[in-house]
Chains A and B, each alone.
Chain A
Amino acid sequence: MRGEIGVFEDLQTLLVIVVGIGILLTSTLYNWSAFGSVEEDQEMFDEVEHLVEQIEAWDRLMAINSYGSHYPEFQLRQSSLDGMSNTDFQDHIRSDLNYNIIFDDLVIPGSDHDPESNYSFYEFGKPVPEGKETLVTHIQYSLVFEELLSGGDYDVSLRHACIMTVVVWR
């Protein structure tokens, strides 16, 4: 082919353009697929943050001070955890993914686990499956024990270190 055709000189230029488009197209498809997997990973991290926000916004889990009012900063109320069923917890703490949440009292060792009085940990959600890809996050809280005094006030001097473990999976 001789002469100018459109904006190109000849078929050689056409070939260069076609190959160039092929490379660009392949690169784009690869990049978007990689980005898609990043978005999927990000979804699990976002869900952990969403679960933490729900827990800290639930007034039933907020510790009370000696006058029976909530503290301005989030601390865990041991008596609420102690008497809570898994169904009740899952009715309030919701997620599009599966989750397992453990509140572990670090002062009471697991070997001293005593269901009749104080638990050393409180577990909610579904059992963590084996072989699934999971995301695990730990957050620290103080666990405040309360005792009702005769005058209507509370003794809240007993506090334990507590670690919350959040596990999510698809």
Chain B
Amino acid sequence: MRRYFAFRATRQGLVAIYDALLFLMVVILISEGMFLYTATTAGRNGELSDDHYQHLADTGRIMVEALSLNESYPMPMIEWSNSTDNETRPLDHWVAPSEADTVQWLLDSFVELTRRNEDESGSWNGTYDTGTIMPIVNAIFAENRLVGTDHAWLFLYLGEVELFGSNAVGSVEDLPEDRWASSSNYTLVVNEPTVISYEAELRYFIWLQ
């Protein structure tokens, strides 16, 4: 009888140890689960958020749009011509800058002169050669690339897409999938007898090298 009780006591002690170990294992497994959850939500090895890279794209676009022409990139000369006459003048003669001759104004002017070229009312009595504007915009964008990134920009106007400012890619299809974009609207609304919209968009891309 004494031996029987001794065996019972040993057995109960082992059961208690087993149960305690089982409980510990459950706690560790829960802890592992928490680690896996937090590790996937915090990113690896510390990194700037996607929002930050989006911010870099936005500030890059805002900066280049705000830059004014300088000695390296002077005012483009624009030729106006019709069947009998022609005249070449600086761009600010044809389209007055609002407060500064910025890149933003260059793009606004491009849209405005293209609109005049397509105006069928004859108000402008000729066409403007806008071919000197975009190379300057292109050069200023290409010159102001952020360290550690590559970039390209698109100008979409009247269904046409132009890719500029990049040595890394030559077409829209070549743009990398991991990239950030920032856009500006250059839509021009003309209140003629019927409202006419000239939709244009500047889309700026950056990606990490």
Binding site for B on A (CB under 8 A): 1, 3, 5-8, 14, 17-18, 20-21, 24-25, 27-28, 31-32, 35, 38-45, 48-49, 52, 65-66, 73-75, 106-107, 137-142, 144, 156-163
Contact = CB atoms under 8 A, between A and B. Distances in A.
Contacts of B19: 6
Interface residues of B, number: 48
A159 B67 contact: yes
Interface centre among A20, A27, A75, A159, by most chain B C-beta atoms within 10 angstroms, is A159
A95 B177 CA distance: 35
B68 to A, nearest CB: 5
B75 to A, nearest CB: 12
A74 B62 contact: yes
Contact of A21 (B21, B60, B102, B144): B21
A39 B19 CA distance: 35
Given A138-B146, A139-B56, A24 B25 contact: yes
Question: Majority SS of interface residues in chain B?
Answer: helix
A90 to B, nearest CB: 23
Question: Majority SS of interface residues in chain A?
Answer: mixed
Contacts of B159: none
Contacts of A6: 14-15, 18-19
A156 B102 CA distance: 11
A6 B21 CA distance: 12
